[in-house]
Chain A
Amino acid sequence: MKVSITREKLQEGLGAVAGSIPTRSTLPVLSNLLLEAEEGGLRMSGTDLDTAVSVRVAAEVEVGGAITVPAKKLQEIARELPPAPVGLSTQGDAISITGGRSRFRLNGLSKDEFPAFPSVPFEESWTTTGRELNQLISHVSFAVSTEETRPILNGVKWELRPDETRMVATNGHRLAKITIARSSGGAEEDLIVHPRALQQVQKLFGGDEEVQIARSENHLGFRGGSVQIFTRLIEGPYPDYEQVIPKDNDKVLIADRSGLTGAVRRMAIVASDQTHRIRLSLGGPMMKFSVQTPDLGEGSEELPVEYEGEPLEIGFNANYLLELLRYVSTDEVKLTFKAPERAATLEPLGNEDAPDFLSLVMPLRLQD
């Protein structure tokens, strides 16, 4: 392999792949990245076995070839090199790097030791844009479960439909769902994707760039521009979330989003470290917040709201409310309730352009 590449292109490629390389791994080759010199470009790839990222950057290729090199060291070298063309060439399992008057030689490993990428049939793909993907992912990925005994809930449910696409995530305590209309058709598909892979998608695809998505038996692939991302799909039936989204919540509250957020944040300060429980008292034009934490103290606040329905006392984990409020972009939010032990919903209000976002949160029991 013998390649000449600008320092900027090298850094760009390395920056894109770096996130997919595990910091600690039992398999030494995983801390390396794969360099492949092909016609007119250099392909760099990294993987943690669950997710793989591959990016191609422009380079002058004199001799093709491939090698894996320690990702961290290569990135540090690229960062410190003077702004001059960089030469990369291999001798056996080592690579030499030259730039300006600097010369380095790094020991690498043969390409054969690097895990093969899954093959995903991009010829049967859906298409979307980076912007859409970002919108979908950012609204739900925070809501996945961190508890690892139900792996299904560690993933994001992704429903591809002929006329719309939807993402849902829940940890069994609260749920976030976003739906956007999608113009380009494709087969109907239900996927469960790990949020770590979606994070890479968010980072590497943006704007109106077209992204192709295709699945094989166990994997999902994303392809757009010079970047490819592959991830292992999570298997198993996702719980029937439609069934738990309340349809008969008869108490409706409309509040100013920033006012509500501010009040919950202030109440959270004196809430218990463990449960983060705050109490909401509804009824009439003022919504009352209160919190009492034994051994610590208490707080209360009032917020003017529009409320229709019977009075209600209900408790919530303040952190859950704050998370949900963060992904609402409108000035006003609508919350609906049924009873102190039933799910409450929260959705944006007012802006026609706002995505169809619905979140729900289960209350914390209040004992009196």
Chain B
Amino acid sequence: MPRRIRILPDHLANQIAAGEVVERPSSVVKELVENALDASATRVTIGVKNGGKTELRVADDGVGMGREDALMSLDRHATSKIERTGDLAGVRTLGFRGEALPSIASVSRMVIETAERDGDGCRLLVKAGQLTSVESYSRRVGTTVHVRSLFFNTPARAKFLRSTAAETRAVSEVVTILALAHPEVGFTLESNDRVLLDTPPVTNLQTRVDDLWGADSGLELIPIASRSSLVTITGLIERPHAATRGGRRAYLFVNGRPFSDRYLVRAVDRGYHTTIPPGVRPSFFLYLDVVAGEVDVNVHPTKAEVRFRHHAGVEEAVENAVRSALRPLESTPSLGARAPGDQPGGPVASRPEANGSGPGDLGRSGGEMLQSPDQMSLFVSGRGVPLGEGEEGDSDDLHREIVRPVMWQVHNTYIFAETRQGLVIVDQHAAHERVLYEELTRAWDRPDGRASQRLLFPLTLRLTRNELDTIEQLQSLFTRVGFELEEFGGRSIIVHSVPNPHPYFDAERCLREMIRELTVGSELVDSARNQHQRLALSFACKGAIKAGQPLAEREIAELFDQLFATELPFHDVHGRPTVVQLSLNELHNRFRRTG
């Protein structure tokens, strides 16, 4: 009896593997560029002809291979990247399966030129996986792989290739992602001898973003940095005011490897909550660094997805990191030039070394930990009004050091305040919205709720049937906001007590507007995640100090103190800024003053 089950010959096994790994020219480019990066290249040049269908080439200045290694590299499961099972869990290189090169070779005509030392190299010619020639070849250290006639021996696969333009786009996207992952490596992409992309090695992620998408693309990005025992996060995220509904650039990297994960994208959006209008999608470039064993990259043939051991923890870390990046003043819009030092350099995620740099190794990411800055340090010392002035018997030396900024209310709507590097303009209504929202959000968690002022003359409100239903449904929450309501019959309610968030508070109007908003809905309250938040958002919006309200100097100072005590002082609850800055730089520019 002839045996029915047999081991596949290598070339067939490779072709099958190629079906998984090598789908189209862009996947070839991805595998080859990753090899180049794993070989410590500092410059990678990619050339495609006809979208890579006719020819593509990846050249690097990495460590190169000797003749024996080069021959071995064509064998299936031959790799320099791991040695034993234990290495797999901690793998820091982009590739490790040893499948890519033989798979690509099996479906193309391939030429490998490589040298370990300048001038002393070799050239391998491979056709459909069969080595046809090995010869000495003189080149500089590094490796160049030419792939011609991709899928020439698998015509079925070749048929599925798309138009040249589509394949070129796919190659370009792959190179873009890898260039983002490795700003410290220079990339050049040529298509039919036209340069599509040329970015030198940089130390600064923002410069890389500018190189990739054109100058000023990175202008509205701010650095993000956080560190926990689980994950270290660095990168850039978009300023809330600049985010739009479409055209999001969302890039995630873990240990230098691009991946996609819609749950983490959602975590980013959660971090932005209340700082952007609903439906807006901010761009982000996030570099996660986790210790070996926390992430499994070996779950997807093209490694497009990864699996975190503690996914919820990573999600939470991402959400919190985004939130804390939105705390500082630099997350606000600026009129013209920003102040120096306010430019988001953006930490560069450097290539993870094979020996594994864990999250403990933060210095290498080039980014300082973002300290939540002492908000008063924004403001000038030396001018302004000393705190505690006018209080009797105030001889405390401390008070002489701390000064309030000079503040000025204009059009009873905006407050100008001097800062170290220029001035900030605060929208008094937006600022107070943020104050009230956070105050109420914290109050939900407290047993005693908010103080509520009993009224001498209770208010009577007539409501519609639907509004009455809203009251019935939310009465206990209204009570916790500070509105004590009682149904009076005949569609009327009596208001016995009200919150008193500021001296100009019009309780009746606030309550009427809240009831209407909560009954018919609005963009603001519909963005809430639960009823508590719905009420908090509505109260913040309707109860805050209005634009047009003259404020006494003391009230302005109080508003500032309260605003800077919030978690996100520079964003109101609608996704609008509370603060716009105008730097001294911009003023100098405007007045043509140099220096």
> Residues of A at under 8 Å CB distance from B?
146-149, 170, 172-175, 239, 241, 244, 272-275, 277, 292, 294-295, 315, 317, 341-343, 360, 362-368
Contact = CB atoms under 8 A, between A and B. Distances in A.
Most A CB within 10 A of own CB, among B456, B500, B502: B456
B456 A172 contact: yes
B504 A368 contact: no
24 contacts: A146-B504, A147-B504, A147-B506, A149-B506, A149-B508, A173-B453, A173-B454, A175-B456, A239-B457, A244-B456, A274-B562, A275-B450, A277-B451, A292-B448, A294-B442, A317-B451, A317-B453, A341-B496, A362-B456, A363-B454, A364-B454, A365-B482, A367-B448, A367-B449
A188 to B, nearest CB: 24
Interface string B426-464: 000000000000010010001111111111110000000
Interface residues of B, number: 31
B439 A274 contact: yes
B410 to A, nearest CB: 13
B451 to A, nearest CB: 4
B509 interface: yes
A367 B457 contact: no
A278 B311 CA distance: 45
A139 B201 CA distance: 76
B225 to A, nearest CB: 26
A236 to B, nearest CB: 14
B559 to A, nearest CB: 10
B451 A315 contact: yes
A367 B484 contact: no
A230 B502 CA distance: 32
A170 B453 CA distance: 14
Interface string B479-506: 0101010000000000011001111111
B507 to A, nearest CB: 8
Contacts of B455: 172-173, 362
Given A172-B456, A295-B442, 20 more contacts: A147-B506, A149-B509, A170-B456, A239-B457, A241-B456, A274-B500, A274-B501, A294-B442, A343-B456, A360-B456, A362-B454, A362-B455, A362-B456, A364-B451, A365-B451, A365-B452, A365-B482, A367-B449, A367-B480, A368-B447
Nearest to B500: A275
Nearest to B480: A367
B456 A273 contact: no
A367 B447 contact: yes
B83 interface: no
Contacts of B561: 273
A124 B100 CA distance: 108
B496 to A, nearest CB: 7
Contacts of B480: 367
Contacts of A147: 503-506
Contacts of B447: 367-368
Given A149-B509, A294-B442, A367-B447, A341 B501 contact: no
Main SS at interface, chain A: loop
B456 A365 contact: no
B397 interface: no
Contacts of B193: none
B558 interface: yes
Contacts of A364: 451-454
A341 B558 CA distance: 29
A364 B500 CA distance: 10
A25 to B, nearest CB: 15
A244 B458 CA distance: 10
B454 A148 contact: no
Give me the 3 closest cross-chain CB pairs, A-B, nearest first.
Answer: A275-B451, A362-B454, A365-B452
B497 A365 contact: yes
B497 A172 contact: no
A85 B585 CA distance: 56
Given A362-B453, A364-B452, A365-B484, A294 B446 contact: yes
A363 B453 CA distance: 6
A292 B452 CA distance: 15
B452 to A, nearest CB: 4
Given A294-B442, A366-B448, A273 B453 contact: no
Contacts of A275: 450-451, 500
A273 B566 CA distance: 14
B545 to A, nearest CB: 11
A12 B365 CA distance: 73
A147 B496 CA distance: 18
Contacts of A149: 506, 508-509
Contacts of B454: 173, 341-343, 362-365
A50 to B, nearest CB: 16
Contacts of B500: 173, 274-275, 317
A336 to B, nearest CB: 15
Contacts of A367: 447-449, 480
Nearest to B439: A274
A292 B450 CA distance: 12
A365 B454 CA distance: 7
A70 to B, nearest CB: 24
Contacts of B505: 147
B147 to A, nearest CB: 63
Interface in B540-579: 558, 561-562
A317 to B, nearest CB: 7
A162 B442 CA distance: 56
Interface string B305-339: 00000000000000000000000000000000000
Nearest to B482: A365
A174 B457 CA distance: 10
Contacts of B451: 272, 274-275, 277, 315, 317, 364-365
Contacts of B504: 146-148
Contacts of A148: 504
Nearest to A364: B451
